[in-house]
Structures are given as structure tokens and as C-alpha cells.
Chain A
Amino acid sequence: MSERVAIEIRGLVKQYGEHRAVDGIDIEVRTGEIFALLGPNGAGKTTTLEVLEGYRQRDAGTISVLGVDPAHPTLEWRNRIGLVLQESQMPAELTARELVTRYAGYYQRPRDVAATIELVGLSDKADARSGSLSGGQRRRLDVALALIGDPDLVFLDEPTTGFDPAARRASWSMIAALRDLGKTIVLTTHYMEEAEALADRLAIIVAGRVVAAGTPETIGGRDRAPATITFSSPVAPSLDGTTVNREGDQVSVETTDVTTVLSELIAWSDAGGGTLAALEVRRPTLEDIYLSLAETPT
């Protein structure tokens, strides 16, 4: 319960025939945080998750999940873990309430059934058979099943894939609420916005390797990477030691020192040098960092 580190992975390798799906991953997940595994399809995210969940046996490396090697799961360990698989179905004939109640019986210290259904926003669908629920509702029911045992650690494999934007936002607030309950959450996603909105820390996985890890703000040197200032002006300024690009009326300046450049630009504009119409400062997005890393040949 009180471990500082919820998950520790050292040198994880998982091989399918000749193909190394996971090729030496080191990750540490701290207790109480939301940790995202971000990467393109086929990068090894789900394989990594399924090794952590105890579904797949690794070929090399050491792993500790809540102090237990998931290759040898115990019932006590399963009591502390909840998970949502990438594709999982439940018996279509049972209602949401029946399924959650059924799962509650499996755990030593289950949460309240009605409160858990409420938490995932399915109260008005509690007596509908799971087969009649929409994809998004079934996914939320799946989350309710993951939470009913009151786990310390929750695995979510692509929790919002296929959702419309409104459903995705709703799921994000639900997942953020889980962190407020003190849960440690590990999720996989290939949506930048999702990692940015939810993750305390994340690792970007490409071709079975971690190519960058950190917080969404600092990952891959994002905080140190130059920002881009753009505006439109019929004339371009000349700035000391900074390259100014101009395409028609569009002027752009790349700089790591936004404040200095901005004050120079304002002084230049005030002095009648040019206009600063549609001024915009754009920091590199997570997607910029991700794309630059994902494209790096490994």
C-alpha cells in the first residue's frame, strides 16, 4: 500500500519468434501518479502492459508490480489490481448491475456497487443488459469492473480509442477522478491530447524501446526547445542574433528566449518598423516532440 514505487521494470524483453516486440524497456511508475505509455500502433505498449498484468511471460528483464513478479501472480496481488483490456467483452445477457455485483463478489474488500456504477456515470443504465449498451458505455462498465475491487493500481489499455470527442473528455475527467481516489494508473494511448491531459509522467515507446520519458511539459527537451513567434507584417524586422523567416506577409522567429525577442519586436513595432498583426507564440507541442522522436530511426 505504501510503496513509493508502484512498478519497476528493468530491461524488459518480449520476443515473438524473430520479432522483438519489447526490446529492453526500463520504466518506473510512482505510487499515486498517472503514467502514460505513448506510442504508435505496434510499438509494444499493449505487450508491455500484458506482461505487467501477468498475461504474458517475458523473455528477459526484472519486473516488480506492487512488489510482486507478475509472472507469478497471487490472488492477494490480483485483489490490488484492476484492469481494462484493449478488447474485452462481458456476457451480453447480464445487466451492468449484475456484472458489477458479480465481480464485487470476487474481491476481498469491494467498493459499493451503486457508488461505482455512479462513478462511471452509468446509473441510468444500471439495469440494461451489457449487450444493449453503446461502445462507450460498455467501456465505462469495463472501468467499473476494474474499480469494484478497490484496487491500488489500475491498468487502462487505450481507454478511449474509438470515442467521440465528448465521450473522450468525459472519460478523462473520470480517469483524473481515479487519481484523486489515490489510485496509481498506467494507461496506453496513441493520442497526444490524452497523454497531455492526463499523464503526470509518460514514456514514449517506439519499436519496443523507450525513446523518451518525463513529464508532458519536459519530455524530449520540450521545455528547452525553441518556441516559434509568428505575426504578419508587410516588412520584416531584423533582430540581433536571431534568424527571421519571411514568407509573404507571414513572419516567423524561432527562439529559446521568448521574452527578450518579444520586447524587441514590440519596440520595433512602436517605432513604426512594422505591424504585429495576429501575433502568436507557439511552444512545441507534445505532438511535435513525439513526431520528431517517432521518426528517429532506431
Chain B
Amino acid sequence: MTSTATLIRQETAYVRKTLVRDPQSLFFTVGLPLLYLFIFATIFGNQEGAVPGQPGLMDVATIMTASVIAIGVTSAAFQNLSIALVHDRENGVLKRLRSTPVPTKVFIGGHVVNALILSVLLAVGVTALGIGVYGVEFPGARIAAVVVSIVLGSLACAAAAFPFTKLVKKGSAATAMAISVTLTLFFLSGNFFPDADMPRALVVVADLFPVRHLYQCLLTAFNPNTTGSGFIWSRLGVLALWTVGGTLAGLRLFRWTPSTDN
């Protein structure tokens, strides 16, 4: 009998292989966020501006690095994961898997750890691109805040993906539904409008979901004018809440069998 840790490691490797060998999923998950960074940096160039809630002025490249990391984490941990889960459920892959003695924690662990690794890799790629090409300043001592935000943001998104699959009944609808949710959240959370003062009502709505909290945490951590360690505990707290709530809801709502069964 293989140990749970080994099993999760193996499962993660298979989940990663499945993603890496599927060019379409890979593009949506990895290519699209990098493309966003490139487009924004090209459009806005070296402008500097005041960002609501942030001390001092920030240049657009720094803002966009923080924004695109948030987008990347959401793509990897929520969008890609929920699409993969719905497809596997509707195709009978999960039903098949359910007949084996694989413990649920190994199955979930494989997907969540894969999402986490992918999030971190994407963040490293985006940060490297920002620093290397667009002159973004390395967050220095606030790097711990960056890492914690990414890990917690990734867990919150992954935890939300499991109950979300309950809303999607057809495999063919999975990509469209997941991307419309994430795109809406990116707009609501101000990811595409670096200097806009978003209407209060929209901010309230956006703050119900993890994306804006993650984005704000990253903005603070990447802002060279931030003093201190850069942690925003209240926002990290909301991400932790999503992680716990998503997990509990997922355990209740997640299905292994296709919607056509019963």
C-alpha cells in the first residue's frame, strides 16, 4: 500500500501531465494571463498613477504584474480546475475513478496541489517578466506577503471550484461558464482598470469573492511605497474563509457521476 503523501504526489504528476498535453487548456490557463500582461504593458507603457487604496504613485507595469498574477492564480486554481472536473465528471472519468479504493483526499489533493504548483509557477513567470522586461521593482522584504497571498488565493479558488461544478450540468458548457465567471470577477475586481475608482456598490459585490482580495493583497505587496511587511490580514482572512467554506460546500455538493445518471 502506497502512502497517502506518495499517492498525492503521483496523482499530482498525472493531473499535470493531463494539462500539459492538452494545448487548449494550457493556453487558457497559462497563455492567456501572460498575454494580458503583454497587452496591458504595451498599451499603458510607462505611465504612473495613483491607485485607489495604495500609498504614493504606482507605475502601470507594477500594477499589472500584481493584477495578472491574480488573474493567473484564478485561471489555474479555479477556471482550469473546475473545467477539468466537469469534463471528467460528464465523461465518466470520475465515475470510473470512484470504483477504485482511491481515497477522496488523494483525488482532491492531486488536483489542489497541481493548482497550487501551477499558480506559483505562473506567478514566478509573471514576476520575472515584470521585473526583467518592464522594470518592475522586486518586492524585497514583502516577498513573504506575495507568497502567502498566492498560496491562500490559490487554495481559496481551488476550494471554490469543487462546489462550482455543481452548477455546470454539461461538459460542453464548462469552459464557457467558468470563463464568464472569472472574466466578470476580473472586471468587477478592477483587474483591467488599474487607476479607476470603482463605484462603491461594485466594490462591495467584488469583495464577496476571492479575486479582489487576492489582487489587493498583491498590489500592496508589490507597491514600493508600502511600509512594513505588506500583509493585509483582513483580506487574507477572507481568502482563508473561502478556503474553508469552499471545502465544506464541496464535500456536500461535489458529484462523481455524470448529470445524466438519475
Contacts and interface: CB of A to CB of B under 8 A. Distances in A.
Interface of A: 16, 53-56, 75-76, 78-79, 81-83, 85, 87-91, 93-94, 98, 102-103, 105-108, 129, 142, 145, 149
Nearest to A142: B96
Interface of B: 1-2, 6-7, 10-11, 14, 17-18, 21-22, 88, 91-93, 95-96, 98-103, 106, 257, 261-262
A142 B92 CA distance: 12
A102 B21 contact: no
Contacts of A16: 262
19 contacts: A54-B99, A55-B95, A55-B98, A55-B257, A78-B101, A85-B92, A85-B99, A88-B95, A89-B91, A90-B96, A91-B14, A91-B18, A91-B88, A94-B14, A102-B10, A102-B14, A105-B2, A105-B6, A107-B100
Given A85-B92, A91-B88, A106 B100 contact: yes
B90 to A, nearest CB: 9
Contacts of A75: 101, 103
B96 A88 contact: yes
3 smallest beta-carbon distances between A and B, as pairs: A93-B21, A78-B101, A106-B102
Contact of B14 (A88, A98, A129): A98
Nearest to A129: B21
Given A102-B10, A105-B7, A129-B21, A90 B100 contact: no
Contacts of B103: 75
A79 B101 contact: yes
Contact of B100 (A55, A76, A89, A149): A149
Nearest to A91: B18
A108 B96 contact: no
Contacts of A145: 96
B93 A93 contact: no
Nearest to A90: B93
Nearest to A107: B101
Contacts of B22: 93
Given A55-B261, A89-B91, A94 B99 contact: no
Contacts of A142: 96
Nearest to B98: A55
A76 B10 CA distance: 21
A86 B117 CA distance: 35
Contacts of A94: 14, 17-18, 21
Contacts of A91: 14, 18, 88, 93
A94 B19 CA distance: 10
A102 B100 CA distance: 11
B101 A98 contact: no
A79 B202 CA distance: 51
Contacts of A54: 99
Nearest to B91: A89
Contacts of A88: 92-93, 95-96
Contacts of B95: 55, 85, 88
Max chain A C-beta neighbours (<10 A), residue from B2, B6, B100: B100
A93 B84 CA distance: 12
A106 B101 contact: yes
Contacts of B2: 105
Nearest to B6: A105
Nearest to A77: B101
Nearest to B1: A108
B99 A78 contact: yes
A84 to B, nearest CB: 9
Nearest to A86: B92
A93 B18 contact: yes
A17 to B, nearest CB: 10
Contacts of B92: 85, 87-89
A89 B93 contact: yes
A101 to B, nearest CB: 9
Contacts of A89: 91-93, 96
A75 to B, nearest CB: 4
A81 B17 contact: no
B247 to A, nearest CB: 21
Contact of A76 (B6, B96, B101): B101
A106 B91 CA distance: 20
Contacts of B262: 16, 56
Nearest to A103: B100
Max chain A C-beta neighbours (<10 A), residue from B98, B99, B100, B103: B99
Nearest to A93: B21
Given A55-B261, A91-B88, A85 B21 contact: no
Nearest to B258: A87
